[in-house]
Structures are given as C-alpha cells and as structure tokens.
Amino acid sequence: MSMNNQGRPSSAVGGGSSDAFETFSGHKGLRLAEPLIYEIGNHETTGVDVEEPSDFTSSLGALERDGEIGCAGLSEPDAVRHYTRLSRLNYGIDMGVFPLGSCTMKHNPRLNEKMARLPGIGDIHPLQPQSTVQGALELMQELSHWLMTLTGMPAVALSPKAGAHGELCGVMAIRKALEARGDAREVILCPESAHGTNPATAAFCGYKVKSIPGKENGRVNLEALKDALDDTVAAVMITNPNTCGLFENEVRDIADAVHSAGAFFYCDGANFNAIMGKVRPGDLGVDAMHFNLHKTFSTPHGGGGPGSGPVVFSDALKAHVPLPYVVKTSDGAMELKEWPTSDGADPTLGRLTAFHGQMGMYVRALSYMLSHGGDGLKQASEDAVLSANYILAALQDVMTASFDGPCMHEALFDDRFLKDTGVTTLDFAKAMIDEGYHPMTMYFPLVVHGAMLVEPTESESKYNLDQFITSMRGLAGEAAAGKTDRFAGAPYLAPRKRLDETQAARKPVLRYRAPEETP
C-alpha cells in the first residue's frame, strides 16, 4: 500500500486490502474518502472575498508576513463537505451501542442541550457582576444540594473540570487536613485494579503509591489493606463499585480500618451511576469522592471533553474545600465566595480553576436530575445494573466471565475463551468494528488477562442489547470453530485498518507539512 507524506494510505479507502474493489475516485459507494483539509483546495486563494483595505499603513514593520499564510483555501460548500464527511467516519453514542466500560457512554437527552443553550445560561460571562447572574448561581447551589443529598455528605466543590481533576482536589484537601494537624504522611494506597488516574493523582501530589492486592472474588483484600495501614499512610483511594464492576461489600470495614489508622478514605466515584439513589457514600465512611458529571448524569463526553468532576467532602475535610463556592446570604441573595479570609488563617485549598468550572455541564447534569427526579435516578441505576447483568448472563456460556455471580453496571469478561483459537483479544475487538460496534474497553482493568469490560448503561433497549448479544455470540462461535479469517485482518469494512496506536500516541504528527517541507 502506498503512503502519502503524512504516513497515511494514499488511496484513502480500502487501499490494498482484501476488499479489492478499487474505485477511480477512492470513494466507496456513499462512504466518501476524505484527505486532510490542507491536501484539498488551493492555498493561494481564500473562500471569501475581502476587499483590499485602502490607505493602510502596517505597523508590523519587519514582522509583517511576506509569504503565503498556508491556510486551506476552501469555498463554503467545500468546507462544509469536508467536516460532514469526517463526521461520517466517526462513531458516537447517537450512532449505536457504545459499550466502553468505565467510561459510561449513556444517551444525552436533548432536553439537556436545550437547557444549556438558554440565553440566560449560554450567553453569560464569568466576570459579570454577581447581581446579574443570580439565577446561574442559584442553579449551582441547587446542583450542589442534589450532589450532597445523593451522597449524604455535607460539602461539595463544583469547580474541578474532570474526574482526574476531582481526584486532585480531594487529595489536596486531604493533604491540607493532615498539614493542619501537623501530621506529615507520605503514602497513598491504591488497589491493583485502580484506574490509572488514582496512582497518577497520588504521585502528582507528591505521595508514594503502594499497591494493594485484590482477592479471588475481584474485591480489595481487606487483610492486605490492614497490613499496609500504618502512620505513614495519608489516604486510601478506592473505587466503588470497583473497576471490575463489583460492589466492595467490605467497604464499611475498609473505612473503619482506614480511619482507625488516622488516614482518609478517598472514593473514586466514577461508577456512581450504578448506586445513585441506592446507597449514600457518606453512610459508607467516605471522606471525599468525585463525580464524573459527564458519566453519571449523561452529558456528552469523549474526544477530550468537556467534563466536570465535582467533589463531595465529609465533616473531616469540609473546611478545606477550594474556592469559589456559592453561599446564600441572610437576605436570600446568592453570593460567590471567591477570596480567602483576610486574616490569613484560611483553611481552603485556594483555587483550582480560573473561573467557576463547567457551567454548561452543571446545567446538563441538573437537567438530567430534575427530569428523572430522585426516584428516576434510582431507576436509572437499577436499569444500568439490569442491562449489564442481562449481557453477562447472555454471554457467559460462550465468553469467559472473570468473576462468579452477578455484576453491578458493567460485565467483565477476559480472553480465556479465546485460548488456543488463534484469535487474540485485539482481533476480537477489531471484528466488532465490522459488526458495526465500538469495541468495549479492552485490557482494562489490568488485574484480569485480556480484559473486556462491557458497560451498556440504562440507555439501551432490550432490542439493542439482543442485537449486540447476537453479534458477540456469533463472533465467539466463529472463534471457537477456528474460523480465524474473519479476525486476522479485521476490521475489513472500516476506512482505516489497524493503526499503529503506540506510534500514534508516542510520536503524534500534529503539524501538517507540505510535501516540499517533508524531510
């Protein structure tokens, strides 16, 4: 297959693969090939006519550009087509089942979008006088109220901008609390199954990370945890339900052990969508927990954002919430507390973000909460758990479930069912693309070999789940029968085949170079 100077196949669709029907255009029927925007059009022209300014003296002096600017010169229809064609190469939750475990890709109700675009919300500016944005501040307070009620915790910080940022906020609050009592501790414990952001956050905050082994049944090993707890441990970071899709049923004992060692219990709440309305983390002994508003309360995500990661705090940590936060004054007005107290004795963290966080995400999350109501949120958790168990039950005779018994909101399989078939975990995932599905989360959590983590969420109908199950059963059957052809070159039907993802991550090509510039 020939490559262009950007390292991409030069016949954009299907070049050189076994589906050898070559077209003259490079298009495949109505699936249109699309080069980079710099590779189409004419750099010397622009899509709009702007008249030369008259009597113009440039004040740029020697800094004035004398060469071509090098922008793609497309007309409006060509620019529209370019982005529309690219969008049709994309796969999203609005196209079909998106079973990425841990990521919680649930349908985003259109009502959320309508609310986020209301002029009184979409058009305001973070530097407006507070008297002109009372409604927006009240909305933030209402959201805070829901988050505290759902978790049974007395304080919340809205401003963190993602789950990982929420972890940072929580661990910084823990460090503040320890400093306040003159207790320099240096270790944070994370279970083996933890999401990578947990140890990364701990290390970023200057802590040493120690790993806690799991048990046969996929939960944290309480005895090993107790052995690791001493007066050097600042906190334990635990995800519940955990990344194997299982509820940590010894969570109260974990909390007690952590507290009696003088440490704090940070809970990674990315999987709160499985328990909202069912159990309150405050009742389980949690000291700080982030939400991923963009997972639990719908709201679009993927492709890098935006996200929102509010953190709730227990009594032991609430003095250390970051600025700013909303308070209701005695005359009923909403006030944003933006500055530490002037006496210098301020226990807050200071600021984590320039302004007040992701307002649009607050609106979407609150819209989801209000349209479901408390009972509806509980039902959403129950439906998410039911969907995952439906998949687990329907597939466990042909794929291998990693742990016995029912799961919470995600079903974890591993690659034992592929052993000796000649089909790898990656082959299986790529074959799913030919079936029209985004693959599930692969190779995570790390505690099981060749993990495949399926999270259907509450969004999928039984019809959709059954179709998905039919495809999975079909693929598992072909693998078991030794029919490796379907897997070896998969995906056969995608516009790009197997990309070198390691190379793409390690050496991303972020800048277009014209052919004459290429070394």
Ligand X SMILES: *Cc1c(COP(=O)(O)O)cnc(C)c1O
Q: Least distance in Å: CB of 407 to ligand X?
A: 15
Identify which of residues 358 and 367 has a Cβ nearer to ligand X in the complex.
Answer: 358
Phi then psi dihedrals of residue 28, to 5 deg:
-120, 95
Phi/psi class of residue 450: alpha, beta or left (left: φ > 0; alpha: ψ in -120 to 50)? left
Residue type present at position 205: C
- Write down the least CB distance from residue 242 to ligand X, Å: 8
Other beta carbons less than 10 A from residue 379's beta carbon? 15
Nearer to ligand X, 334 or 411 (CB): 411
- Shortest distance, CB of residue 101 to ligand X, whole angstroms? 8
Min CB(300)–ligand X separation in Å: 13
* C-alpha–C-alpha distance, residues 169 and 510, integer Å: 31
Task: Name which of 194, 176, 175 is nearest 186 in CA terms.
Answer: 175
Residues engaged in binding ligand X (CB under 6 A): 102, 162-164, 195, 197, 239, 243, 268, 270, 292, 307, 309
On the CB side of 359, CA atoms within 13 Å amount to: 21
Q: What is the C-alpha separation between 228 and 206, in angstroms, rounded? A: 19
Q: Considering the complex, state which of residue 9 and residue 456 has its C-beta at the smaller distance from ligand X.
A: 456
- Return the DSSP state at 324: P
Question: Distance (Å, rounded) from C-alpha 190 to C-alpha 74?
Answer: 52
> Helix or strand or coil: residue 191?
strand
* Residue number with CB closer to ligand X (282 or 309): 309
Q: Which residue, 239 or 421, has its beta carbon nearer to ligand X?
A: 239
Q: What angle do CA 166, 170, 171 make, to 5 degrees?
A: 120
The smaller minimum CB distance to ligand X, of residues 302 and 347, is found at 302
Least distance from ligand X to the Cβ atom of residue 159, Å:
14
The residue number with the shortest CB distance to ligand X is 163
Are 444 and 105 contacting, i.e. CB atoms less than 8 angstroms apart?
no
Is the Cβ of residue 402 or residue 421 nearer to ligand X in the bound state? 402
Q: Using the minimum distance from each CB to ligand X, give the nearer residue, 255 or 270.
A: 270
Q: How far is the CB of 268 from ligand X (least distance, A)?
A: 5
Q: Supply the minimum distance, in Å, between the C-beta of residue 163 and ligand X.
A: 2
Shortest Å, Cβ 169 to ligand X: 12
The alpha helices in 347-490, defined as continuous H runs, are 359-395, 425-434, 462-480, 485-488
Strand order in the sheet with 400-401: 400-401, 411-414, 452-454, 441-442
Q: Report how far residue 270's alpha carbon sits from residue 307's, in angstroms, rounded to the nearest whole number.
A: 12
